Amino acid sequence: MTNAREMNRRGFLGRLGLTALSLPAAAVVGKIDGDEVLASPVEYGGFLVRRAQDGDLPYEIDESVLSRFDQRNEVFSREMWDREVFESESRFDGVEEENIMTNKPGYTRLDYAFMSAAWTIAGAFGSGAGAIGGSNGGLYSWQPLGGPGMDGMPPWDASDWTPEEVAQIVKKAALFFGASLSGIAELDQRWIYSHRFTKDFSDPPEIYAPILVEDVESPEERDDGTLVIPESMRNVVVLAFEMDFDAIATYPGGPGAAATGNGYSRMTFTAACLAEFIRGLGYQAIPCGNCTGLSIPMAVDAGLGELGRLGMLITPKYGPRVRLAKVITDMPLLPDRPVSFGVTEFCEACGRCADDCPGEAISKGERTYDPIDISNSPGILRWPVNHPRCHLVWAQTGLDCANCIRVCPFNKPEGWLHDATRALIGADNITMDQVMLKLDEASGYGEQLEPRRYWKKDRFVHIKD
């Protein structure tokens, strides 16, 4: 049976000649310069995406300066050793209590309790945001966690499945365990951190050691903290987790921060289960949150989306409203190919995230290969984000901010205008992009939902009332 909203969407898109968007699964609907154009409401929402030909990537790299990122330079790690970052943020110690005592809207006891509860699984069993990881990472263990007792058996005989079906099985399992999107890429070692930096308050207080890729049998952690990934682990399954649209609409208030924590908790569970599934099939697996390597370029390689001006992955279906995890494995898997759907071109015309960033942390200029500071990887053409400035905004309130996700025109719930907007955004036409930005604004997309209203409404109505 077709509901009214679906009728609207199909009718609207049909008038645009985009009837293929109603297809149930990914389908090739055309070609542009040899690239396949795909439609899939399940994977891409209302978008038509362009799938790169073998070897083509939707990003540009200056090989002469690109080097593996050191996790010690990530802003959450810098809190632990960079005096400037530490001192600027520690000025706001105690702000949570102050906010609660004054019942500051969006920062009340209700908001902090909700946020804190959402982090429960990540906090108790996995890594927190950013700096924690490695073989001591709870559910992010580099060693099997028990499993179904099939040690020593030969790997699963997949000879009566095609490579496409085997990849589909793994991706489907990822969705079953809780991911919203999953994709597979060949592991590009350039995205593995050069060093791990583990924020750990036990004794010793921190681990700072290299991550190597070597000809070893299985993942290793050496006595000095060095992690070793076997060269044979050549694939990565990348997982994206949708964050609740209504909660994100309240950013920078409490429900938004809870959506972040919820994403991290879900990805801890899902990455661990998927790794155990792969291990149960007789292969090796390393589940990772933000640890071990850069998730965004791996996600781009796995066909999950493109990098936006705000410095995050933008997926066709959920925009930037996702959190990312990954599982590195030696299981033979057919990789997906990167996709593009006009993100770079649209970001050039837009800039709304930069305008609405309270920390002025997002670039309003042109893309560049140059980093702002050590928290950016050099050699990747993109809009660099000033991470210490961003993080200072978080410190000021005691809750994370993601205004940039809320206001991004790619962040929308499902619905006909949502689909139509994104389909047209992908038209790669500067005039059309400007028109769609105006339409987006007029529709009230991106406006903040007053945090108390999150609890009072059954469903946030994203069209202006």
Q: How far is the CB of 206 from ligand SF4 (least distance, A)?
A: 25
Q: Does 249 bind ligand SF4 (CB under 6 A)?
A: no
Q: How far is the CB of 346 from ligand SF4 (least distance, A)?
A: 5
Q: Which two tokens stand for residue 5?
A: 């909203």
Q: How far is the CB of 58 from ligand SF4 (least distance, A)?
A: 14
**Backbone dihedral angles phi then psi of residue 72, each to the nearest 5 degrees:** -65, -25
Instruction: Select from 33, 19, 58, 64 the least CA-distant residue to 316.
Output: 58
Residues 308-327 that bind ligand SF4 (CB under 6 A): 308-310
Alpha carbon separation from 140 to 37, 73, 137, 209, 265 (Å, rounded): 36, 21, 5, 18, 12
Among the residue ranges 83-91, 183-191, 324-332, 342-350, the one whose residues contact ligand SF4 (CB under 6 A): 342-350
Report, in angstroms and rounded to the nearest whole number, the Rg of the chain calculated over CA atoms. Answer: 22
Q: Which two tokens stand for residue 239?
A: 């997982």
> Is the Cβ of residue 118 or residue 350 nearer to ligand SF4 in the bound state?
350
Counting runs of H as helices and runs of E as strands, what totals does the chain give? Answer: 18, 14
> Is the Cβ of residue 227 or residue 401 nearer to ligand SF4 in the bound state?
401
Among 350, 395, 399, 420, binds ligand SF4 (CB under 6 A): 350
Q: Does 300 bind ligand SF4 (CB under 6 A)?
A: no
Q: Does 298 bind ligand SF4 (CB under 6 A)?
A: no
Among the residue ranges 57-65, 104-112, 240-248, 305-313, the one whose residues contact ligand SF4 (CB under 6 A): 305-313
Q: How far is the CB of 344 from ligand SF4 (least distance, A)?
A: 9
Q: How far is the CB of 315 from ligand SF4 (least distance, A)?
A: 12
Q: Does 281 bind ligand SF4 (CB under 6 A)?
A: no
Q: Does 403 bind ligand SF4 (CB under 6 A)?
A: yes
Among the residue ranges 192-200, 257-265, 299-307, 355-363, the one whose residues contact ligand SF4 (CB under 6 A): 355-363
Expressed in angstroms, the distance from the first to the final Cα of the chain is: 28
Q: How far is the CB of 307 from ligand SF4 (least distance, A)?
A: 9
> Is the Cβ of residue 297 or residue 335 nearer to ligand SF4 in the bound state?
297
**Backbone dihedral angles phi then psi of residue 175, each to the nearest 5 degrees:** -65, -40
Distance CA 397, CA 358 (A): 12
Among the residue ranges 49-57, 239-247, 329-337, 407-415, the one whose residues contact ligand SF4 (CB under 6 A): 407-415
Among the residue ranges 41-49, 205-213, 276-284, 406-414, the one whose residues contact ligand SF4 (CB under 6 A): 406-414
As a 3-state breakdown, the chain gives helix, strand, coil percent values, each rounded to 5, of 40, 15, 45
Distance CA 266, CA 269 (A): 5
Q: Does 265 bind ligand SF4 (CB under 6 A)?
A: no
> Is the Cβ of residue 273 or residue 425 nearer to ligand SF4 in the bound state?
425
Q: Which two tokens stand for residue 19?
A: 């009837």
Amino acid in the structure at residue 125 = F
> Is the Cβ of residue 46 or residue 308 nearer to ligand SF4 in the bound state?
308
Residues 358-397 that bind ligand SF4 (CB under 6 A): 358-359, 361-362, 385, 390, 393
Q: Does 418 bind ligand SF4 (CB under 6 A)?
A: no
Distance CA 146, CA 317 (A): 35
For the chain, the residue count is 465
Q: Does 259 bind ligand SF4 (CB under 6 A)?
A: no
Q: Does 50 bind ligand SF4 (CB under 6 A)?
A: no
Among 280, 351, 378, 379, binds ligand SF4 (CB under 6 A): 351
Distance CA 130, CA 401 (A): 15
Q: 235 - beta bridge partners?
A: 186, 329
Q: Does 448 bind ligand SF4 (CB under 6 A)?
A: no
Q: Does 408 bind ligand SF4 (CB under 6 A)?
A: yes
> Is the Cβ of residue 221 or residue 441 nearer to ligand SF4 in the bound state?
441
Q: Does 404 bind ligand SF4 (CB under 6 A)?
A: yes
At a CB cut-off of 8 Å and minimum separation 6, what does 154 contact? Answer: 282
Answer yes or no: are the C-beta atoms of 38 and 28 closer than 8 Å: yes
Answer yes or no: are the C-beta atoms of 215 and 230 closer than 8 Å: yes
Distance CA 426, CA 416 (A): 15
Among the residue ranges 96-104, 321-329, 330-338, 351-359, the one whose residues contact ligand SF4 (CB under 6 A): 351-359
Distance CA 434, CA 456 (A): 34
Q: Does 357 bind ligand SF4 (CB under 6 A)?
A: yes
> Is the Cβ of residue 225 or residue 451 nearer to ligand SF4 in the bound state?
451
Distance CA 405, CA 426 (A): 18
Full strand arrangement of the beta sheet holding 235-242: 181-186, 235-242, 322-329, 285-288
Amino acid in the structure at residue 462 = H
Instruction: Select from 32, 38, 47 the least CA-distant residue to 436.
Output: 47
Q: Does 445 bind ligand SF4 (CB under 6 A)?
A: no
Q: How far is the CB of 421 from ligand SF4 (least distance, A)?
A: 11
Which residues contact ligand SF4 by CB under 6 A?
Answer: 308-310, 346-347, 350-353, 357-359, 361-362, 385, 390, 393, 401-404, 407-410
